[in-house]
Amino acid sequence: MQNLLNRFLGYVRTDTRPDDTNSSSPSSISQMLFAEQLADELEKIGLGEVTLDGNGYVMATLPSNTGEPGPVIGFIAHMDTSPEAPSGNVNPLIHSNYDGKDILLNQEHNIILSPSDFPELEKYTGQTIITSDGTTLLGADDKAGLAEIVTACEYLIGNPSLKHGKIRIAFTPDEEIGRGSDNFDVRRFGADYAYTLDGGGIGELEYENFNAAAATVEIKGRSVHPGTAKDAMINSIMVAGQLDALLPSGERPEYTTGYEGFFHLYDIRGSVEETVMKYILRDHDPVKFAERKRILNEAVESIRKRYGGAGITVALKDQYFNMKEIIEANYHIIEAAIEACRKAGIEPVIQPVRGGTDGARLSFMGLPCPNLFTGGHNYHGRYEYIPLESMTKAVEVIINLCVPGKTQ
């Protein structure tokens, strides 16, 4: 547990925020520097075939110690953190023997992590809770997945009596901006199936995810001195507000759950002359997903007609699709994960992902790849936290998957 904690704390202190304005892979220098650090660490703990390619993908092998042929299992996590929240200079805080009450993250700014806002906190009473200091996200998405995979490999290397087949691991860049699998070489990875460690609370096991698209709307207005602006000015900021008002107001992330999809305006920047809006569109159902894209396009066209003097464009890009059909055709990997969880004393919680993972696209690229929990909560924000005990259980589940005959 201490090795896992130290590794995780070191990882989250490294800023790996992606840059969606940069088309390079990885999109930020910090990710490549972190990839180099991870590659060095993997070699030091004894993994073989460690590679780091020019796109920032780290891969490594733990060879089989059974002497018998068998399937190759893979484990995957991503290096980047969400661009939606401050992520530089993360200062992780450790709250030992949590008392079930409010956790003061930052006294100066009165930032409090409270079970009144996040009731699931109470079930971790008595455990060790890791948070940021409230000025940034924590980065458990997906630094926890990285730390858990590396720690599990380290444990297997240190305990050769545990017999396992060939294991491949991969760490990817730019998952948070939808590019995590763009340059992933499935053939070189060489696994028969894999698991992403990119889920939430303890026990989560997911093989259904959103269909996802990203949309960028650019609005060109017309700036005129406000004293003579009547019938001449077109304020692109106001136009943007009218466009957003045409989308279903109840179909936003804060109003939806389960299989319900949404429109999410996550970034808007502008002036009178120009405003840029960035949306993500999500839905599990492919028909409803297509309908969301149609609704956005029609809203843009409506505003375009209303403001003939404004230039309005929308660029829509599919990001990933629901992997359910692929995984159901390979359901034995879900059954293996269920057994691995139960051996660790966890009853798996099978539920749809209200998001996506690298595994979604990889499944369509020929690598069936469901998603396992890391233990974290409240990803992508300053109230993110993760219990150390949940991370330890994630390590145990990985080991159980690699060593099916292992008993507690």
Structure tokens, 311? 């230039």
CB neighbour list of residue 364: distance below 8 Å, 6 or more residues apart? 321, 323, 326
Rg (C-alpha) for the chain, rounded Å, is 23
What distances in angstroms separate CA 256 from CA 125, 157, 283, 353, 387, one per listed residue?
28, 44, 11, 13, 26
Q: Where are the alpha helices (DSSP H) in 90-227?
A: 140-158, 186-189
Q: Where are the alpha helices (DSSP H) in 80-202?
A: 140-158, 186-189
SS3 content of the chain, % helix, strand, coil (to 5): 35, 25, 45
Of the listed 15, 141, 174, 175, which one is catalytic?
Answer: 175
Contact 275, 237 (CB under 8 A): yes
Cα gap 365→185, rounded to integer Å: 9
CB neighbour list of residue 271: distance below 8 Å, 6 or more residues apart? 221, 223, 236, 237
First to last CA, the chain: 16
Q: Which helix (H) or strand (E) holds 197?
A: strand 193-199
Cα gap 204→71, rounded to integer Å: 24
Can you tell me whether residue 249 is helix, strand or coil?
A: coil
Strand-strand pairing, 274-283 and 349-350: unpaired
Of the listed 80, 176, 208, 396, which one is catalytic?
Answer: 80
What distances in angstroms separate CA 351 from CA 199, 263, 324, 354, 371, one per listed residue?
11, 21, 11, 9, 10
Q: Is 182 a catalytic residue?
A: no
- Residue 355 one-letter amino acid: G
- Residues comprising the chain, all counted: 408
Cα gap 296→29, rounded to integer Å: 34
Can you tell me whether residue 4 is helix, strand or coil?
A: helix
Strand-strand pairing, 73-78 and 167-172: parallel
Q: Is 80 a catalytic residue?
A: yes
Structure tokens, 169? 């691991």
- State the catalytic residues: 80, 175
